[in-house]
Structure 1
Amino acid sequence: MNNQEIPAPTPSPALRPVRGAARCAVTALALAALAWAARAVWHVRLALTGQPASGPPHQGDGVHRPLTALEDSYHLVSSVGGVVTVVCALAFLSWLDRVRDNARALSGAQPRYAYPWLFAGWIVPVVNLWIPRGIVADAHRSVFPDRRLPAVVNWWWGLWLAGLAGGVGLVYADSTDEVIVRAYTDVLPLLAADTAIVAAAGTAALMIRTLTAAQQQRMDEAARPAA
């Protein structure tokens, strides 16, 4: 008699609810879009008002002049926008973490990028130009290898990079006083970057809804008892 024990099969990773995380991320993206739209309004106000005769806020050699009421209010708008953007980033990463785990459970394949890249991919120079998009694309393609990647993923990433190129994004942000000077001297690039980031937030929300709906459908199919 063969008494050798047969090892138990390794259980598949559990699927994680994704709809709630998607709703939170979409809501956070809407708030972030409003925050960046408010910044754009203040950029226009600063440009129309013009730089005071006393010069820029930071005048060199550690000398700072008192801020005007408009500049002071822009600091407040910028601070609120920064907090909202960080909350938005956390909500987005929470959604992406769930989508990534579910993709591994549904496909049985290991993700292309290791877990630390879920966070480091946004801040490590150079590689942050493609890794975040790659994580999103890999999560979708591993579950749907026969489908084309939704175009909204590329639209979102292109607009996000365009916003970063303007120097007002979450990662490569100038100081608030530097942005004020830019609004006084050359506001059009700032407005272009603001527009790109607001559009990126909108396309990101659409991307989340699109990818969540597709993955949820596959999760529902996997949950049905075999015929």
Structure 2
Amino acid sequence: MTELIDKAGGLLPSCRPLQLSGQLAAGGLLLAGAAWIARGVWEARLALAGEPAAGPPDQGEGVHRPLNALEDSYHFVTALGGGAVVLCALLFIAWLWRVRDIARDLSGQPPKYAGLWVYLGWFVPLINLWFPRGIVVDAFRRAVPGRRQPVSVDVWWTLWVIGMLSGVGIVARDSTDEIIARAYTEVWPLLASDAAVVGAAVAGAFAVRAVTGALVERLRQAGAPQPV
């Protein structure tokens, strides 16, 4: 059986795909967090090594000096981190779609946010400050009415916004070479932003597990036989 029968005789999704999707999304978040830890370690190494006598990699007016071994390895670490973030995003959005659909099935009501915002909500300025969290909260409240949303959801989103708005974290405005130059001269803002990103990843994993667990419990209750 891939579906459960609810108390009204309707069909509800199975718990197993939701559980697997939640595990993958939480794992993707932790992987992205680990990648950002590595990034912070390399930035600290750059700060300890000090800026070379030749100056920063980007020397202005389109002139770039050859990278040393440490700078080159930082490029590699940031590229791996970017790949981890893309994988995390795909897994998280897949989980969010499933949660949104299950909440609709359980409540019998359409979601508050149109489906296109599951994607665009992360990229449209200003809207990306609250829509993604709103989609999670809306799905949770519809699926588990009367139950308070997990604290981890708010912690995750607060740290995510800090990392996003810092300009050196999740959505960096500087190029990798410019970030290397900043690591040589002002590493602490970089490390603070990295800490926010890592914290968001860990809190996000807890939020995914909490929301998934609540929906699985609700699905099982909805599919349980009525007492005689």
**Aligned positions of 1:74-223 closer than 5 A:** 74-223=74-223
Query: 2-side partners of 1:53 and 1:15: how far apart?
Result: 62
* Higher alpha-carbon deviation: 216-225 or 13-22: 13-22
- Alpha-carbon deviation of 1:173? 4.5
* Aligned positions, number: 217
Matched, 1:15 2:27: no
Query: 2-side partners of 1:196 and 1:49: how far apart?
Result: 24
Residue 54 (structure 1) aligns with:
54
**Aligned positions of 1:15-54 closer than 5 A:** 15=13, 17-54=17-54
Residue 6 (structure 1) aligns with:
none
Query: 2-side partners of 1:178 and 1:166: how far apart?
Result: 15
TM-score (norm 2): 0.91
CA contact (8 A) 1:152 1:203 kept: yes
- Alpha-carbon deviation of 1:168? 2.9
CA contact (8 A) 1:12 1:105 kept: no
Secondary structure of the corresponding residue to residue 109 of structure 1? coil
Question: Structure 1's 74 and 172: CA in aligned 2 closer, same or farther, altered over 3 A?
Answer: closer
- Alpha-carbon deviation of 1:13? 7.4
Identity of aligned residues (%): 53
Query: 1-side partners of 2:20 and 2:67: how far apart?
Result: 43
Deviation string, structure 1 residues 98-153 (Cα, Å, up to 9, x no partner)? 00100000001111110000010000011100001100100001122312222111
- Alpha-carbon deviation of 1:181? 1.1
**Structure having the higher Rg:** 1
5+ residue gaps, structure 2, are 1-8
* Higher alpha-carbon deviation: 50-59 or 98-107: 50-59
- Alpha-carbon deviation of 1:202? 0.5
Query: 1-side partners of 2:174 and 2:100: how far apart?
Result: 32
CA contact (8 A) 2:29 2:201 kept: yes
- Alpha-carbon deviation of 1:12? 6.3
TM-score (norm 1): 0.91
CA contact (8 A) 2:163 2:170 kept: no
Query: 1-side partners of 2:40 and 2:165: how far apart?
Result: 16
* Higher alpha-carbon deviation: 162-171 or 148-157: 162-171
CA contact (8 A) 1:43 1:187 kept: yes
CA contact (8 A) 2:33 2:198 kept: yes
5+ residue gaps, structure 1, are 1-10
